[in-house]
């Protein structure tokens, strides 16, 4: 048999599809894995163990899964909103925001359990706009840390309409002159709706014989605009402005009919008119996809997010209504701002923009078709300078980016090498954790998670799968506190677990990546809790895991498992730093490396791996074998190490002797199922290959 030594020093192509098993010629094959479970990827190449999930608290309603919505004012003020049926709670920095009397703050909402999955949102500072086809648009306002208010969106100008319009003098005559006036906000420049029409019977106004108008002042108005009808029709033109005072004199000036007063519009009043998507773009708040108008997009007036009014004739800052013209009626499913507004429908992807170099407005509006792949209902994610969206049918995740080659947006399939990740299951929720490792987390409909480490500028795209002893039902990401030395973004999850024969739902948070030089801080348990303080021989507060067996790390030493009874566990001896929670296994199996021997290619030939070396970084213990069914523990403790004490973390190569098994596939399988860290830098295998 031919013998050689092979090294794999990068795993950042992630877990590859079984369909790739014979594609040794593919560039990313050499950095791939047959199995990558509960492991994450460094862009540099190593694979490291997923941190544990820290228990935050029970859901407010454990009978149905809530939605988790990020509310980010800035890095210091980042909240997680827990939307349950007809109420919401607010989480901040690992705890619930408390209201009056020290009880958790609860805000009533109109959203029933069956409507939570259709919630869509976008945020501007302290205001979160919420839409669903089942209710009128609303906004959640934060007036203080413990002062949150959910109110209906009242579409229209925020400045009041003037009242008391009257004539205080006019020349005699029989002609009828008709006027309306509006107020202009001193803060925003927004124009109010016009007053009721005032008809004045008088002669022709002129200097010295004017039609004098007066009205009641409006609080917050900087000026008033006076419009006059002309031509015998109800068409108004701008006559002039009154910058100070509440009077105006019509001295016979000809109105400017290129500028008319605003006309009120609210396209969302009917039960079938509620939009299903909302997004900010070019200083406008855009809505789309009601049941009555599934292909229509409505954009507010510029800078006035709750004002859908238009003028006659149209002005560039008026609200915009545009409907996609296509062969099929495919509802708008999402919008995402980019160089243009990206619009995903069930039948294809479009862009919305102004014409040429002009800004988007009712006078300059261009819809362009980009692709016919179609989009799923899941909202897209902004990742770097691209946009990730799930393709219709849920079998592919595409990365939409602007391409000079086609002068438009094209979407590369990011699941092409790992199609098995979405085979027979769908993504029900997802979020992007930019820091520290640029991971797209996906909650699947079977309760597992999939992760995609994606760094486009370095051609890093690797999938990995994750499971916990429960089912992940929802997730979101918010920035972590800047003062936290671990830094990075926080992944929050809703996890359904069976505890003591009862189905429970918990809010949990992914712990920061392990970066210590000692094992004591290592947190590699799910639904776990920690204790740090004077030595104790028991740990309480585990009622949420009653009757479950938990893994324990005590002062960096792997303590034997315990069954939680009465919310407590007893330790063999006191410890100062304790982590307890549900254990989980992390698996890494590199791809079968192919090479050309002296008598030809080795693919398809019988082989065996007798020995291997695993290069580790800040690790402690693992199991290894030729496959998952034949694993042996790799011993790190020596006769010189004191029993019952934590071992120092290991850097370097650890040799593994395998039960040599003949076959055309396989090689090495590495597992860590103790609550300890594992980072694999490389795998060096001694391979014997049979003759061709």
Confidence of residue 619 (pLDDT cuts 50, 70, 90): very high
610: left (phi over 0), alpha (psi -120 to 50) or beta: alpha
CA gyration radius, the chain:
32
Judged against a pLDDT cut of 70, whether residue 666 lies above it is answered with no
pLDDT band for position 94 (cuts 50, 70, 90): confident
Q: Which of 33, 383, 10, 350 is nearest to 397 (CA)?
A: 383
The residue whose two tokens read 């006036």 is 181
The whole-number pLDDT of residue 510 equals 97
Q: What is the pLDDT of residues 252-274, one digit of tens each?
A: 999 999 999 999 999 999 999 99
The secondary structure of residue 194, as a DSSP letter, is P
> Which sign does the torsion angle of CA 426, 432, 436, 437 carry?
positive
Given this model, what pLDDT does residue 434 score? Answer: 95
The sign of the torsion formed by the CA atoms of 311, 313, 315, 318 equals: positive
DSSP β-ladder status, 439-444 and 427-433 = antiparallel
pTM given for the model: 0.93
- How many Cβ atoms from other residues are within 10 Å of residue 537's Cβ? 11
Question: And the tokens for 175?
Answer: 């002609």
Mean pLDDT of the chain: 93
Look at residue 216 and tell me whether its pLDDT is greater than 80. Answer: yes
Q: What is the pLDDT of residue 230?
A: 85
Give the integer Cα–Cα distance in Å for 345 and 389: 11
pLDDT for 232: 59
- pLDDT of 161 > 80? The answer is yes
pLDDT score of 600 = 61
| Residues with Cβ within 8 Å of residue 171, at least 6 apart in sequence | 202, 203, 204, 205, 206, 209, 210, 211
Pair of tokens at residue 14: 């992630």
Give yes or no for a contact between 55 and 94, defined as CB atoms under 8 angstroms apart.
Answer: no
How high is the pLDDT of residue 659? 79
Beta-carbon count within 10 A of 200 CB: 19
The angle at the Cα of 155, spanning 149 to 156, to the nearest 5 degrees, equals 120
In angstroms, rounded to a whole number, what is the distance separating the alpha carbons of residues 578 and 560? 13
Span 577-606, mean pLDDT? 83
Is 599's pLDDT higher than 90?
A: no
Average pLDDT over every residue of 588-594: 89
CA separation for the pair 285, 97 (Å, rounded):
29
**Structural contact between residues 512 and 548, judged by C-beta atoms closer than 8 angstroms:** no
Residue 250 tokens, joined? 């019509």
Tell me: pLDDT of 411 over 90.
Answer: no
**Percent of the chain with pLDDT strictly greater than 90:** 80
The terminus-to-terminus CA distance of the chain in angstroms comes to 10
Cα separation, 336 vs 279, whole angstroms: 7
- Mean pLDDT calculated for residue range 421-444: 96
pLDDT at 410: 81
DSSP for 325-389, written as a single string? --SS---EEEEEESSSEEEEESS-EEEEE-STTSPPBTTB-EEEEEESS-B-SSPPEEETTEEEE
Question: Does residue 373 register a pLDDT over 80?
Answer: yes
* Omega prior to 421 cis, within 30 of 0: no
The pLDDT assigned to 689 comes to 76
Mean pLDDT of 454-462: 92
Whether the Cβ atoms of residue 8 and residue 28 lie closer than 8 Å to each other: no
Torsion sign (Cα): 671, 676, 679, 683: negative
* Residues 413, 398 contacting (CB under 8 angstroms): yes
pLDDT by residue (tens digit) across 71-86?
999 988 999 999 999 9
Question: What was the pLDDT predicted at 663?
Answer: 66
Query: Cα separation of 636 and 656, whole Å?
Result: 12
Given a cut of 70, is residue 604 above it in pLDDT?
A: no
pLDDT exceeds 80 at position 406? no
Is residue 244 predicted with pLDDT exceeding 80?
no
The lowest-confidence range among 2-16, 136-150, 151-165 is: 2-16
Contacts of 430 (CB under 8 A, 6+ apart): 378, 381, 440, 441, 442, 443, 475
Whole-number Å distance between alpha carbons of 161 and 185: 11
For residue 45, give Cα distances in angstroms to 13, 31, 41, 492, 679: 9, 8, 7, 26, 11
Q: What is the pLDDT of residues 526-582, one digit of tens each?
A: 999 999 999 999 999 999 999 999 999 999 999 999 999 999 999 999 999 999 999
Confidence of residue 643 (pLDDT cuts 50, 70, 90): confident
CA distance 121 to 68: 11
Percentage with pLDDT > 70 across the chain:
96
Task: Report the C-alpha gap between 231 and 260 in whole angstroms.
Answer: 14
How far apart (Å, rounded) are the C-alpha atoms in residues 617 and 614?
Answer: 10
> How many CB atoms within 10 Å of residue 172?
8
Contact 392, 375 (CB under 8 A): yes
Question: For residue 513, what are the contacts with CB-CB under 8 A and spacing of at least 6?
Answer: 40, 48, 51, 436, 437, 486, 488
Name the range with the highest mean pLDDT among 173-177, 559-563, 660-664.
Answer: 559-563
Q: Tell me, what's the pLDDT at 339?
A: 87
């Amino acid at each position: 048999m031919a013998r050689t030594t092979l090294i794999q020093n990068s795993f950042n192509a992630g877990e590859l599809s079984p369909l790739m098993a014979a594609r040794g010629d593919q560039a990313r094959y050499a950095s791939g894995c047959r199995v990558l479970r509960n492991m994450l990827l460094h862009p540099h190449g190593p694979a490291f163990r997923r941190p544990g999930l820290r228990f935050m608290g029970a859901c407010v309603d454990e009978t149905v899964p809530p939605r988790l919505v990020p509310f980010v004012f800035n890095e210091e003020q980042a909240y997680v909103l827990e939307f349950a049926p007809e109420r919401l709670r607010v989480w901040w920095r690992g705890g619930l925001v408390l209201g009056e009397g020290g009880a958790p703050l609860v805000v009533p909402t109109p959203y029933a359990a069956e409507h939570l999955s259709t919630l869509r949102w976008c945020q501007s500072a302290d205001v979160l706009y919420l839409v669903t086809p089942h209710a009128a648009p609303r906004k959640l306002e934060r007036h203080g840390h413990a002062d949150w208010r959910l109110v209906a969106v009242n579409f229209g100008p925020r400045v009041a309409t003037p009242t008391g319009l009257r004539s205080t003098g006019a020349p005699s005559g029989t002609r009828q002159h008709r006027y309306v006036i509006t107020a202009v906000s001193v803060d925003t420049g927004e124009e109010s709706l016009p007053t009721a029409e005032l008809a004045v019977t008088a002669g022709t106004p002129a200097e010295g014989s004017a039609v004098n108008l007066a009205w009641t002042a409006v609080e917050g108005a900087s000026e008033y605009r006076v419009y006059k009808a002309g031509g015998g029709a109800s068409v108004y033109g701008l006559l002039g402005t009154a910058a100070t005072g509440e009077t105006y004199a019509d001295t016979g000036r000809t109105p400017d009919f290129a500028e008319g007063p605003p006309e009120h519009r609210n396209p969302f009043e009917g039960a079938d008119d509620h939009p299903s998507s909302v997004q900010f773009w070019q200083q406008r708040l855009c809505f789309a996809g009601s049941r009555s108008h599934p292909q229509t997009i409505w954009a507010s007036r510029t800078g006035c997010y709750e004002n859908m009014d238009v003028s006659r004739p149209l002005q560039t800052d008026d609200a915009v209504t545009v409907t996609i013209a296509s062969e099929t009626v495919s509802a708008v499913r999402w919008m995402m701002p980019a160089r243009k507004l990206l619009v995903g429908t069930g039948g294809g992807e479009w862009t919305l923009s102004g014409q040429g170099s002009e800004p988007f407005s009712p006078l300059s509006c261009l819809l362009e078709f980009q692709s016919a792949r179609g989009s799923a209902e899941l909202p897209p994610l902004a990742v770097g300078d691209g946009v990730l969206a799930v393709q219709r049918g849920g079998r592919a995740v595409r990365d939409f980016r602007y391409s000079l080659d086609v002068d438009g947006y094209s979407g590369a399939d990011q699941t092409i090498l790992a199609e098995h990740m979405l085979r027979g299951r769908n993504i029900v929720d997802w979020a992007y954790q930019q820091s520290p490792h640029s991971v797209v987390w996906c909650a699947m409909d079977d309760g597992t998670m999939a992760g995609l480490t994606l760094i486009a500028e370095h051609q890093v795209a690797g999938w990995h799968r994750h499971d916990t002893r429960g089912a992940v039902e929802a997730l979101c990401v918010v920035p972590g506190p800047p003062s936290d030395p671990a830094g990075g973004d926080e992944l929050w999850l809703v996890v359904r677990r069976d505890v003591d024969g009862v189905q429970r739902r918990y809010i949990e948070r992914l712990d920061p990546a392990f970066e210590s030089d000692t094992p004591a801080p290592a947190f590699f348990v799910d639904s776990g809790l920690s204790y740090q303080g004077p030595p104790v021989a028991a740990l309480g507060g585990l009622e949420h895991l009653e009757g479950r067996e938990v893994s324990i790390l005590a002062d960096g030493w792997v303590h034997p498992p315990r069954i939680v009874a009465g919310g407590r566990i007893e330790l063999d001896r006191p410890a100062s730093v304790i982590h307890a929670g549900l254990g989980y296994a992390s698996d890494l199996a590199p791809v079968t490396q192919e090479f050309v021997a002296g008598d030809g290619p080795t693919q398809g030939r019988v082989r065996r791996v007798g020995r291997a070396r695993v290069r580790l970084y800040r690790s402690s213990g693992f199991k290894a074998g030729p496959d998952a069914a034949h694993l042996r523990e790799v011993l790190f403790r020596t006769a010189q190490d004191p029993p019952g004490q934590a071992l120092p973390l290991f850097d370097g190569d650890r040799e593994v002797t395998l039960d040599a098994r003949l076959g055309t596939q396989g090689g090495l399988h590495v597992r860590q199922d103790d609550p300890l860290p594992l980072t694999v830098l490389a795998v060096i295998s001694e391979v014997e290959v049979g003759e061709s």
